[in-house]
């Protein structure tokens, strides 16, 4: 499926909307973090397998970059759920979104995708806005949760880097969904967490109906459909775009909390949100403008 760059950027925003439900639903589920991660990923793998089938159904036929993406995906899933349980959802999301810095630092070396001055300015503005956004809720408490959130940001960055690298090395082949790393990452997460789920059931614990509903929504929408869409977009955007545009996700989480839990954002949250959305929007518009200018210049030279 060929997607224009402009449309891909817009669909990335939709992906972020789906991702943004994660914090609220995870908090609503009364179960061990590893159990949530495992069952959620089992459901998500089923959805991704239907909506965006992987290139291969055999783990032994994965490229080393697909395998690296699967491991990075598993680490991201487990550590983020654990971080959300151990610290505030705001802390977990903010600290995970240090990922664009890792992509910017390693992208040129690993992918050969140059990080421009515009990219660095956008990153600085995003981080400035996110600090303002969470200044009312970011806490030094819950150190383990914060450390896991930072680590999930590193693994998330490498998931994107491995996915983009795999696109590069398989560029000569017919386009695929690019979901192999994510699909097998969710399978791996389910397998790793299976013993904890089994032990939970063996102890006599049974999640409530609300918890099962929350896990189902997490698996189908927050993870399954969102990553099925994301895996189709990864060919049409750069690694930095793939990780920078979805930073609107942490801005939407408090909105869902305000709507469904009655918690209203403070003034610093609103100011920070404006800064982040403004930075990402300006970068996207600038990229679209320069691409159109380049296309018009090339067409004029060709016609001449």
Q: What pLDDT, on the 0 to 100 scale, is given for residue 134?
A: 65
Q: What pLDDT, on the 0 to 100 scale, is given for residue 10?
A: 82
Taking the C-alpha atoms of residue 260 and residue 246, their distance in angstroms, rounded to an integer, is 22
Q: What pLDDT, on the 0 to 100 scale, is given for residue 144?
A: 85
Contact yes or no for 153/146 (Cβ under 8 A): no
Taking only the tens place, the pLDDT of each residue in 142-151 is 678 888 988 9
Q: How confident is the model at residue 9 (pLDDT cuts 50, 70, 90)?
A: confident
Q: What pLDDT, on the 0 to 100 scale, is given for residue 175?
A: 53
Q: What pLDDT, on the 0 to 100 scale, is given for residue 230?
A: 85
Burial class from Cβ neighbours inside 10 Å (0-12, 13-18, 19+) for residue 288 reads middle
Q: Total structural domains in the chain? A: 1
Q: How confident is the model at residue 70 (pLDDT cuts 50, 70, 90)?
A: very high
Of 182, 187, 152, the C-alpha closest to 164 is 182
Taking the C-alpha atoms of residue 68 and residue 45, their distance in angstroms, rounded to an integer, is 17
| Host domain of residue 39 | 5-303
108-122: buried (b, 16+ CB within 10 Å) or exposed (e) per residue? eebbebebeeebeeb
Out of 108-112, 185-189, 289-293, the most confident range is: 185-189
Q: How confident is the model at residue 261 (pLDDT cuts 50, 70, 90)?
A: low
């Amino acid at each position: 499926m060929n997607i224009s760059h402009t449309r891909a950027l817009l669909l990335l925003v939709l992906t972020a909307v789906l991702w943004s439900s994660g914090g609220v639903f995870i908090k609503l589920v009364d179960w061990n973090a590893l159990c949530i991660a495992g069952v959620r990923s089992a459901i998500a793998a089923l959805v991704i397998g239907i909506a965006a089938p992987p290139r291969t159904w055999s783990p032994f036929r994965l490229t080393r970059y697909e395998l690296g993406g699967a491991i990075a995906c598993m680490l991201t899933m487990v550590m983020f759920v654990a971080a959300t349980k151990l610290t505030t959802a705001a802390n977990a999301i903010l600290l995970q979104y240090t990922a664009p810095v890792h992509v910017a630092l390693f992208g040129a070396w690993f992918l050969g995708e140059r990080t421009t001055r515009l990219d660095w300015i956008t990153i600085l503005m995003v981080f400035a806005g996110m600090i303002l956004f969470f200044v009312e809720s970011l806490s030094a408490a819950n150190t383990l949760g914060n450390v896991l959130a930072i680590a999930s940001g590193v693994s998330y960055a490498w998931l994107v880097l491995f996915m983009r690298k795999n696109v590069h090395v398989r560029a000569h082949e017919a386009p695929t969904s690019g979901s192999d790393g994510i699909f097998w990452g969710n399978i791996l997460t389910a397998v790793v967490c299976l013993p904890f789920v089994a032990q939970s059931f063996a102890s006599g614990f049974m999640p409530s109906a609300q918890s099962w509903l929350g896990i189902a929504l997490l698996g189908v929408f927050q993870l399954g459909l969102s990553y099925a869409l994301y895996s189709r977009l990864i060919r049409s955007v750069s690694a930095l775009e793939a990780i920078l545009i979805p930073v609107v996700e942490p801005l939407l989480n408090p909105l869902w909390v305000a709507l469904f839990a009655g918690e209203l954002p403070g003034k610093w949250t609103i100011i920070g949100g404006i800064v982040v959305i403004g930075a990402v929007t300006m970068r996207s518009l600038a990229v679209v403008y320069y691409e159109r200018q380049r296309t018009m210049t090339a067409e004029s030279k060709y016609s001449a």
